């Protein structure tokens, strides 16, 4: 089964979208400084069960920069997700991770009727936006050229591995890291989009949307990692409690990117959840 790639026009510019598989439509939203290739370990197990839609949102790991005046806020990216979801055959299941999880929260709060189900993996939420460990990155925004230096450093293997250690417990192959980073190490326009996004990451955004999550009445599965340097474990249960039909599944051997650390386990959880019924809560 071939992976189809196309460009989709959104406000501010084009985004690349890959599509593969058949069945229930599942829209995957990746996180900061990576792209849709973070979901690649799930393709083999899901392609015969669902229609996977894998956009490369302009969150720093994309390959085609937006227009210089494009809005790169979380709210603007949520609007891009909503625009894409409206074009997909329903019902649509939304999956978000990391910064993409915050974007998914905004999307379901804005248009709760557009999605049938929601899956949130370790994500920015409540007062953790950006994650506390990444707050020093905000200081770089005031230093001319600093983000460019960081981006170019990611051409080096040691820098790539250090970045991946924050989000994955296991070793990630170099070719997969390169695919996930997109044009971040080489393209000034991509780094400009990243800087604009970082400048707009504020706890006020995720704290405000948390108050609106009750509007989404579909089943919600919150998949959270027990030991993660970026996303507090307690936020998983708290986030599930914001929804009328939320439940938690615990990823015992993962950091933030569960798709890299426990792809088989996550595939099983997604298949069970997409198949219907209420998510079965774990006992964290």
DSSP 237-273: HHHHTTSTTEEEEEETT--S-HHHH-HHHHHHHHHHH
Cα–Cα distance for residue pair 265/269, rounded to 1 Å? 6
Q: Identify the pLDDT of residue 134.
A: 85
Residue 284: per-residue pLDDT: 45
pLDDT of residue 49: 94
Q: Going from the N-terminus, what domains does the chain have, and what CATH number goes with each? A: 4-275 (3.40.50.1820)
CB 23 within 8 A of CB 49: yes
CA distance 97 to 61: 14
Alpha carbon distance 46, 23 (integer Å): 10
| Terminal-to-terminal C-alpha distance of the chain | 37
What CA–CA distances, in Å, run from 231 to 30, 42, 272?
A: 15, 22, 25
Asked whether the beta carbons of 43 and 20 are under 8 A apart, the reply is: yes
The b/e string for 213-233 (b: 16+ C-beta within 10 A; e otherwise) is beebebbbbbbbbeebebbbb
Angle between helices 146-153 and 188-200 (to 10 degrees): 120
Measured CA to CA, the distance from residue 119 to residue 107 in angstroms comes to: 12
Per DSSP, the residues of the chain read -PPEEEEEEETTEEEEEEEEE-SEEEEEE--TT--GGGGGGGHHHHTTTEEEEEEE-SSSS-SSPPPTT---SHHHHHHHHHHHHHTSPSSEEEEEEEHHHHHHHHHHHH-GGG-SEEEEEEE-BTTBSS-GGGHHHHHHTTSTTHHHHHHHHTTSHHHHHHHHHHH-SSPPPHHHHHHHHTTTTT-HHHHHHHHHHHHH--HHHHHHHHTTGGG--S-EEEEEESS-SSS-THHHHHHHTTSTTEEEEEETT--S-HHHH-HHHHHHHHHHHHHSSPPPP---
pLDDT at 194: 93
Q: Per-residue pLDDT for the chain (284 aa), expressed as one digit of tens each?
A: 789 999 999 999 999 999 999 999 999 999 999 999 999 999 999 999 999 999 999 999 999 999 999 999 999 999 999 999 999 998 999 999 999 999 999 999 999 999 999 999 999 999 999 999 888 777 666 677 777 788 888 888 898 999 999 999 999 999 999 999 999 999 999 999 999 999 999 999 999 999 999 999 999 999 999 989 999 999 999 999 999 999 999 999 999 999 999 999 999 999 999 998 666 556 44
Q: What is the rounded CA–CA span in Å between residue 114 and residue 95? A: 13
Return d(Cα 272, Cα 267) in angstroms, integer: 9
């Amino acid at each position: 089964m071939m992976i189809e790639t196309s460009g989709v026009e959104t406000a501010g510019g084009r985004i690349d979208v890959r599509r593969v598989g058949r069945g229930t439509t599942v829209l995957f939203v990746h996180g900061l400084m990576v792209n849709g290739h973070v979901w690649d370990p799930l393709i083999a197990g899901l392609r015969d069960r669902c229609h996977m839609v894998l956009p490369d949102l302009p969150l720093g790991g994309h390959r085609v920069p937006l227009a210089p005046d494009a809005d790169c806020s979380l709210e603007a990216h949520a609007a891009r997700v909503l625009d894409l979801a409206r074009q997909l055959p329903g019902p649509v299941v939304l999956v978000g991770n990391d910064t993409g999880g915050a974007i998914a929260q905004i999307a379901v709060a804005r248009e709760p009727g557009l999605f049938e189900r929601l899956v949130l993996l370790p994500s920015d939420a409540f007062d953790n936006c950006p994650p506390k460990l990444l707050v020093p990155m905000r200081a770089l925004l005031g230093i001319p050229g600093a983000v460019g230096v960081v981006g170019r450093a990611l051409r080096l293997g040691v820098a790539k591995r250090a970045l991946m250690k924050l989000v994955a417990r296991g070793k990630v192959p170099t070719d997969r890291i390169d695919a996930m980073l997109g044009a971040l190490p080489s393209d000034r326009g991509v780094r400009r989009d990243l800087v604009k996004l970082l400048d707009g990451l504020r706890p006020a955004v995720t704290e405000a949307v948390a108050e609106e999550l009750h509007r989404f009445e579909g089943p919600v599965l919150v998949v959270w990692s027990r030991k993660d340097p970026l996303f507090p474990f307690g936020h998983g249960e708290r986030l599930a409690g914001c929804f009328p039909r939320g439940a938690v599944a615990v990823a015992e051997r993962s950091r933030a990117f569960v798709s890299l650390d426990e792809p088989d386990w996550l595939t099983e959880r997604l298949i069970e959840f997409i198949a219907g019924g209420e998510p079965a809560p774990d006992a964290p």
